[in-house]
Structure formats: structure tokens, C-alpha cells
Amino acid sequence: MWKRDEAVRPPQPASSPSPGAVPETSTARVDASRHTERDIVNIGKSVIIKGELSGSEDLTIEGQVEGKIELKQNVLTIGPNARIKAQVFAKTVIIQGEVHGNVTASERVEIKDSGSVDGDVSAPRVAISDGAHFRGSIDMQKGSQPEKAAKPEMPKAGETRSAAPTTPPTTTPPVTVAASAGSSSGAQVR
């Protein structure tokens, strides 16, 4: 005769798993987590690259690069051992090593306390830690190109409008900052 309790219970394994075995359910979770992580590529301390470096993954550089680095939609981390002599273009740039060249980011540039930049920085947000070295200028405009003035609307037939005086947009010259670890104020404006 059929018993309801036995039909509801999951079947028991015939033998217990070995101590080092991984259950199948946890393996599936590990594989799923690999697909959700962002791809990050590392360039080691002993690697030297001369030329153009571009890609569509986050990148950490610990070695040397001379030329041009272009990661427009990704994060570039310049490690504490890195020596860069290049023009840098990325979404976010985090600098812990040395950079000789201009740095352009669409979102943010961070110069950590161990970082050094000799060149111009252009990004909507710039953070320079106390003790970092920076020599160059900073351009913190929100967009990559200045906004165009909107065309005034023409009045419709029979409609009158008062003319308001328009003033041309003003631009402010970029601020040039020189900072080094030895200065007491942290930064000097020229």
C-alpha cells in the first residue's frame, strides 16, 4: 500500500559524499557568480607596452606604457608601481603611480596620495588626495563639448513677444594648480 509521507520526502543518497567533494548546487552558484562580475585585466610590473592600448574591459596597469591608452567606457587603475608616459582616455581613471601626459575622463579622475601626474586633467569630477603630486591644469566641464545656445522661437502670426536681452555665455579660463607632498597648503594656484 502507498504511504503519503514517503512520496513527499526527497530521495536520500546511497552513500555520503567524500569530505572534499563540493555539492552540485554550490557549483551552479559559483558559475553564475562568474558571469555577473566585471571583467578586469591586469598588466604586471614587468610588462612594457609601447604604442596604443585600447579595450572594453576595466584595466589595472602595474607596468610601463608609452603612447596612448584608450578605455572610453571603462575604469583604468594605474597601480603604485606603474610608470605611464601616455595620453589617457577612460571613463574613470584612478592614479596611484606616475603619469606623464594628459588624462581625460568622462566621469572622474582620482589622484591618490601615492600618485603623481605631470599633465593636464579633464573630467567633470577630480579628486586629489593630500600628499599627491600634480603639475598641470584641470578642466572640470560637465560635458565633453560646450553646450550650444538654443535658437529663439519665432512668434506665430498675430502673436507678439517682448524681446529680452540675451547675454553671451561667459567662459572661465582653466585653473592651473601645482601641488606636491612637501607643500604645507596642499596646492598652489597660479
User: Which pLDDT tens digits describe the chain residue by residue (190 residues)?
Assistant: 555 555 555 555 555 555 555 444 433 333 333 333 567 788 999 999 999 999 999 999 999 999 999 999 999 999 999 999 999 999 999 999 999 999 999 999 999 999 999 999 999 999 999 999 999 999 998 764 444 444 445 555 655 555 545 555 555 555 555 554 444 444 444 4
Distance of alpha carbon 57 from alpha carbon 18, whole angstroms: 39
Q: What are the domain boundaries of the chain?
A: 38-135
Cell triple for residue 81? Answer: 608601481
Identify each DSSP E strand in the chain by its residue range. Answer: 40-43, 48-54, 58-61, 64-78, 83-95, 98-100, 103-111, 116-118, 121-122, 125-128, 133-139, 175-179, 188-189
Q: What pTM did the predictor assign?
A: 0.58
